[in-house]
Amino acid sequence: MPNPILPAWEYIPDGEPRVFGDRVYLYGSHDRAAQSDFCDYKLKVWSAPLDDLNNWVCHGHSFHTRDDRDHKSDTEGLTDHKLFAPDVIEKDGKYYLYAYIVGSKGVVGVSDRPEGPFKLLSQYKYDPADAGDDGIYNDAGVLVDDDGRVYIYYGFTESNFNEIDPADMYTFKKGSYKRAVIDDSDNAPQEQRFFEASSPRKIGDTYYLIYSPCVGSRLAYATSDKPQGPFKYRGYIIDNGVDFPGGNDHGSVCNINGQWYIFYHRMTNNTIMSRRACVEKIEILPDGTIPTVEMTSLGFEDSLAPFKPYP
Give mean pLDDT, residues 76-103: 94
What's the pLDDT tens digit per position in 228-239?
999 999 999 999
CA 261 to centroid of chain Cα atoms: 14
CA distance 25 to 15: 9
What's the pLDDT tens digit per position in 217-271?
999 999 999 999 999 999 999 999 999 989 999 999 999 999 999 999 999 988 8
Are the CB atoms for 29 and 39 separated by under 8 Å? yes
**69-73, 81-85, 195-199: lowest mean pLDDT where?**
69-73
Residue 87 has a pLDDT of 98
The CATH-assigned architecture of domain 16-282 is 5 Propeller (2.115)
b/e code 241-274 from CB counts within 10 Å (16+ = b): beeeebbbbbbbbbebeeeebbbbbbbbeeebbb
Name residues whose C-beta falls within 8 Å of residue 203's C-beta, 6 or more positions apart in sequence: 253, 284, 288
135: helix, strand or coil: helix
| β partners of residue 101 | 83
20: helix, strand or coil: strand
Are the CB atoms for 196 and 215 separated by under 8 Å? no
Sheet holding 119-123, edge to edge: 83-91, 94-101, 107-111, 119-123
What's the pLDDT tens digit per position in 96-118?
999 999 989 899 999 999 999 99
296: helix, strand or coil: coil
Are the CB atoms for 132 and 139 separated by under 8 Å? no
Give 3-state DSSP helix, strand, coil % of the chain, rounded to 5.
Answer: 0, 45, 55
- Would you tell me how many other CB atoms lie within 10 Å of the CB of residue 151? 22
The secondary structure of residue 169, as a DSSP letter, is S
CA distance 110 to 177: 24
What's the pLDDT tens digit per position in 45-59?
999 999 999 999 999
The type of residue at 304 is: L
CA distance 43 to 83: 7
- The answer on pLDDT for 309 being more than 90 is no
- Would you tell me how many other CB atoms lie within 10 Å of the CB of residue 7? 12
Q: Show which residues are catalytic.
A: 14, 196
What's the pLDDT tens digit per position in 113-139?
999 999 999 999 999 999 998 888 999
Integer angstrom CA distances of residue 237 from 14, 150, 280, 293? 15, 26, 10, 6
Report the relative pairing of strands 119-123 and 107-111 from DSSP bridges: antiparallel
- To the question of pTM greater than 0.85 for the whole model, the response is yes
